[in-house]
Amino acid sequence: MTIMDREAHEKLLSDLLNPELEQSAKTEILTQLRDNYTGFTTEYETVNQKVEKLTQDNSDLVISNSKLFRQTGVLGDNPKPKEEKQKEFSETIKLSDIEKSI
């Protein structure tokens, strides 16, 4: 069941205030309002249950991650990456050696 939007709900309430409205029409409007309220409360309860479950799951994941990081020792002892040896070329080349190779 789809939930009625606010404007439609307000229109039904204002229609109920019409003194010329027949009893059968009033009963139909009240039934629509009751059905809408029932659908709304059902959806509200469902959403609240999902929020509670997701909040609990999130809390459990935070605790699990914290335990995992403590077990692996990542928080306190960050291993330093191995430094790459920087290669140096200190060979001197003379211009005459370059000319000979050409």
Give the pLDDT confidence score for residue 94 in this predicted structure: 76
For residue 94, tell me if it sits in a domain: no
For residue 58, tell me if it sits in a domain: yes
Structural domain harbouring 36: 22-76
For residue 1, tell me if it sits in a domain: no
- What's the domain count of the chain? 1
- What value does the mean pLDDT of the chain take? 85
Write the DSSP string, the chain.
-PPPPHHHHHHHHHHHT-TT--HHHHHHHHHHHHHHHHHHHHHHHHHHHHHHHHHHHHHHHHHHHHHHHHHHTTTT--PPPPPPPPP-------HHHHHHH-
pLDDT digits (tens, 9 = 90+) for 59-93: 999 999 999 888 887 545 555 566 666 666 666 77
Q: Say if residue 40's pLDDT is above 70.
A: yes
Rg of the chain over all Cα atoms, to the nearest angstrom: 38
Give the pLDDT confidence score for residue 13 in this predicted structure: 93
